[in-house]
Amino acid sequence: MAYSDKVIDHYSNPRNVGTLDKSKKNVGTGLVGAPECGDVMRLQIEVDEATNTITDAKFKTFGCGSAIASSSLATEWLKGKSIDEALAIDNMEIVEELALPPVKIHCSVLAEDAIKSAISDYRVKNGLPALELAHH
Amino acid sequence: MLKLPIYLDNNATTPLDPRVLEAMMPYLTEVFGNAASRNHPFGWAAEEAVDYAREQIAKLINCDSKEIIFTSGATESDNLGIKGVFEMYSQKGNHIITATTEHKAVLDTCKHIEKLGGRVTYLPVNEQGLISLEELEAAMTPETILVTIMYGNNETGTIQPIREIAKIAHKHGALFMTDGTQAVGKIPVDVIADGIDIMAFTAHKLYGPKGVGALYVRRKNPRVKVTAQMDGGGHERGMRSGTLNVPGIVGLGKACELARLEMDADSARLSAMRDRLERELLTLEESYVNGSREHRLPHVTNISFKYVEGEGLMMGVKDLAVSSGSACTSASLEPSYVLKALGLSDDLAHSSLRFGLSRFTTDEQIDYAINHVKEAVTKLREMSPLWEMFKEGVDLSKIEWAEH
């Protein structure tokens, strides 16, 4: 399969690979996917509680090049965004940016799920109700 | 300078040996006759070349040259062998026994036989990829006309106990067929000593050209016949019509001759190289060889690297042309059915790589492959949440995954 230059770039030089301290109250963690499906993404955000802004984002992904690129791109986009702006990220924006082919759209869906799941985790930790997460 | 990418997918196909090409060249140009033209020298020259090739092939597998039926390749040979026996021996019975790890050319042909009203038993394999002789014995019935079990597996290289299987088939009055595609030319295959009645094989897995293969059909003890699957001029003793692919056949003959002369040396060199590759890659934690390490082809290894995903791994080893156990070309992932049959979980089947070495593989290429794979696996594991959890001692099977 031919990958776009952007997918290859993110795969070869992934941004923000790593782990944030999930015991911290201002860190939200999203773990989505399943090993037997071939993709597991873990996306973490660190939030400045005063401004409600995402100050750091890290990921680790088990998956194909498109899954790695989708999560890498997501962490790039998340940094500096408010929670509300982050929630507005749509998987199709990732598809467009990375020029994902139709068979790889599920990678972008997973990245969107990971963002929402991380935000939901952050909310719960801070006494807010969990987000209603769509199931794909 | 090492040329990249490095070709290590020789179970898919091998490059043409230049000596084979040289033998073929005249038959692509000046000696162009139809081997069935009996009334002029053009035909005679072609027929002579075909007869010579039959001898070369017969010597490699220890049969009579009249027992070779030329086809377009192993898929056609598998089809002709199985469907041909099913039709020819329908008076005797309608039951065929095969195994779950066979090539699709055998499995899908058997599915077709079932649609025609035949009965097929698909024997399971153990974690080594071997069938159980007891299960084979138990599956035999008076209606069993054919047992078809491959010689060496294309994905793992596992070699089945061919002689014992043949004995059981014969004891119950059934014919024994084997798909010898990966084995012929790589290890000694002797149709007499092995008790093989029918065998499919092809030129392009043993440094010959694509588009030509053969079916060995035993002529005595017992005399075996298969019903032709194509109607036409009645070539190949009436079992396979169609003008013979003379240059291809010459190539197959030459490839068999070279294999016979060089097999021992090739096999020793390739297995040493394969063992080194394997030993080095197994120094990576949580890596496993798939299939039997005791009974297998000399040039193949299939290794799973846990906690990395197959397609990501393939992308990471872009300088190598290898196969993965993951057929991830669509949104629904389909792990290799062969590895699944060995009892591998989906994720281990996905994260496997098959290395197939050839006569032309060099030590330098293997050195490069070792480093390249090690780097890719290490990098992907550093990126893998599953690897991190494994390292922290988390039991991944206890996690409730949100399947999507």
Closest alpha carbon to B211 in B251, B162, B268, B271: B251
Question: Does the pLDDT value for residue B328 go beyond 70?
Answer: no
pLDDT at B310: 85
Please, are residues B198 and B217 in contact by the beta-carbon 8 Å criterion?
yes
Position B326 confidence tier, pLDDT thresholds 50, 70, 90: low
Region B189-200: what's the mean pLDDT? 98
Report the percentage of chain B scoring pLDDT > 90: 91
Position B171 confidence tier, pLDDT thresholds 50, 70, 90: very high
Position B331 confidence tier, pLDDT thresholds 50, 70, 90: very low
Cis amide leading into B18 (omega within 30):
no
Q: Which residues pair with B378 in a beta bridge?
A: none
User: Measured between CB atoms, which of B350, B387, B404 is closest to A33?
Assistant: B404
| A136 in a structural domain | no
Rounded Cα distance, A103 and A119, in Å: 27
Q: Which residue range(s) make up the domain with B270?
A: 6-11+263-398
pLDDT tens digits, A55-91: 999 999 999 999 999 999 999 999 999 999 999 999 9
| A129 in a structural domain | no
Which amino acid appears at position B220 of this protein? K
Residues 6+ positions from A14 with CB-CB distance below 8 Å: A59, A68, A69, A72, B383
Closest Cα in chain A, distance from residue B349 (Å): 10
| A99 in a structural domain | yes
Question: Does the pLDDT value for residue B212 go beyond 50?
Answer: yes
Closest alpha carbon to B52 in B31, B29, B73: B31
| A75 in a structural domain | yes
**Do B208 and B310 reside in the same domain of the chain?**
no
* B404 in A contact zone (CB under 8 Å): yes
**Do B220 and B323 reside in the same domain of the chain?**
no
| A24 in a structural domain | yes
Chain A environment of B329 (Cβ under 8 Å):
1, 103
Catalytic residues of B: 328
**Do B109 and B254 reside in the same domain of the chain?**
yes
| B69 in a structural domain | yes
Closest Cα in chain A, distance from residue B98 (Å): 28
Please, are residues B144 and B97 in contact by the beta-carbon 8 Å criterion?
yes
Chain A environment of B386 (Cβ under 8 Å):
35, 40, 62
Question: Does the pLDDT value for residue B23 go beyond 70?
Answer: yes
User: Measured between CB atoms, which of B350, B384, B396 is closest to A38?
Assistant: B350
Count how many pairs of residues, chain A against chain B, have C-beta atoms within 8 Å. 93
Q: Which residue range(s) make up the domain with A62?
A: 5-124
Question: Does the pLDDT value for residue B156 go beyond 70?
Answer: yes
User: Measured between CB atoms, which of A37, A60, A103 is closest to B404?
Assistant: A37
| B283 in a structural domain | yes
**Do B86 and B101 reside in the same domain of the chain?**
yes
Chain B environment of A135 (Cβ under 8 Å):
402, 404
ipTM for the predicted complex comes to 0.94
Chain B environment of A107 (Cβ under 8 Å):
none
Closest Cα in chain A, distance from residue B381 (Å): 8
Contact: B402, A110; criterion CB under 8 Å: no
Position A136 confidence tier, pLDDT thresholds 50, 70, 90: low
Tokens at A34, concatenated: 């399943």
Report the percentage of chain A scoring pLDDT > 90: 88
**Do B314 and B242 reside in the same domain of the chain?**
no
| A69 in a structural domain | yes
Mean pLDDT of chain B, nearest integer: 95
- Choosing from B194, B227, B259, the residue where a domain stops is B259
Contact: B328, A33; criterion CB under 8 Å: no
Count of the separate structural domains present in chain A:
1
- Choosing from B259, B285, B306, the residue where a domain stops is B259
Residues 6+ positions from B134 with CB-CB distance below 8 Å: none
pLDDT at A36: 79
Question: Does the pLDDT value for residue A1 go beyond 70?
Answer: no
* B41 in A contact zone (CB under 8 Å): no
Sign of CA dihedral A112, A113, A116, A117: negative
Rounded Cα distance, B121 and B117, in Å: 13
- Choosing from B229, B244, B259, the residue where a domain stops is B259
β-strand pairing of A39-48 with B6-7: unpaired
Contact: A3, B315; criterion CB under 8 Å: yes
| B403 in a structural domain | no
| A133 in a structural domain | no
Question: Does the pLDDT value for residue B329 go beyond 50?
Answer: no
pLDDT at B346: 83
**Do B250 and B359 reside in the same domain of the chain?**
no
- CATH number of residue B332's parent domain: 3.90.1150.10
Count of the separate structural domains present in chain B:
2
Region B85-114: what's the mean pLDDT? 98
- CATH number of residue B69's parent domain: 3.40.640.10
**Do B207 and B294 reside in the same domain of the chain?**
no
Position B277 confidence tier, pLDDT thresholds 50, 70, 90: very high
Please, are residues B241 and B235 in contact by the beta-carbon 8 Å criterion?
yes
pLDDT at B330: 44
β-strand pairing of B334-335 with B175-179: unpaired
**Do B186 and B294 reside in the same domain of the chain?**
no
pLDDT at B204: 98
- Element housing B274 (H / E): helix B246-281
Position B400 confidence tier, pLDDT thresholds 50, 70, 90: confident
pLDDT tens digits, A30-60: 999 988 788 999 999 999 999 999 999 999 9
Rounded Cα distance, A115 and B378, in Å: 26
**Do B345 and B390 reside in the same domain of the chain?**
yes
Contact: A135, B402; criterion CB under 8 Å: yes
Chain A environment of B315 (Cβ under 8 Å):
3, 11, 64-65
Closest alpha carbon to B324 in B309, B314, B339: B314
Contact: B347, A35; criterion CB under 8 Å: yes
* A106 in B contact zone (CB under 8 Å): yes
**Do B45 and B126 reside in the same domain of the chain?**
yes
pLDDT at B348: 87
Which residue in chain A has the smallest CA separation from B309? A63
| B237 in a structural domain | yes
- Least confident stretch, B152-156, B172-176, B346-350: B346-350
| A132 in a structural domain | no
pLDDT at B335: 84
Q: A19 in helix, strand or coil?
A: coil
**Do B255 and B303 reside in the same domain of the chain?**
no
* A1 in B contact zone (CB under 8 Å): yes
| B210 in a structural domain | yes
**Do B224 and B278 reside in the same domain of the chain?**
no
Rounded Cα distance, B310 and B326, in Å: 6
Residues 6+ positions from B355 with CB-CB distance below 8 Å: B8, B274, B277, B300, B301, B302, B303, B322, B369
Contact: B384, A33; criterion CB under 8 Å: no
Chain B environment of A37 (Cβ under 8 Å):
333, 401, 403-404
Q: A124 in helix, strand or coil?
A: helix
Task: Identify the residue with better confidence: B323 or B45.
Answer: B45
Q: A100 in helix, strand or coil?
A: coil
Interface mutation target, options A1, A8, A29, A64, chain B, most CBs of B under 10 Å: A64
Position B111 confidence tier, pLDDT thresholds 50, 70, 90: very high
DSSP, residue by residue, B391-403: HTT--GGGS--B-
- CATH number of residue A74's parent domain: 3.90.1010.10
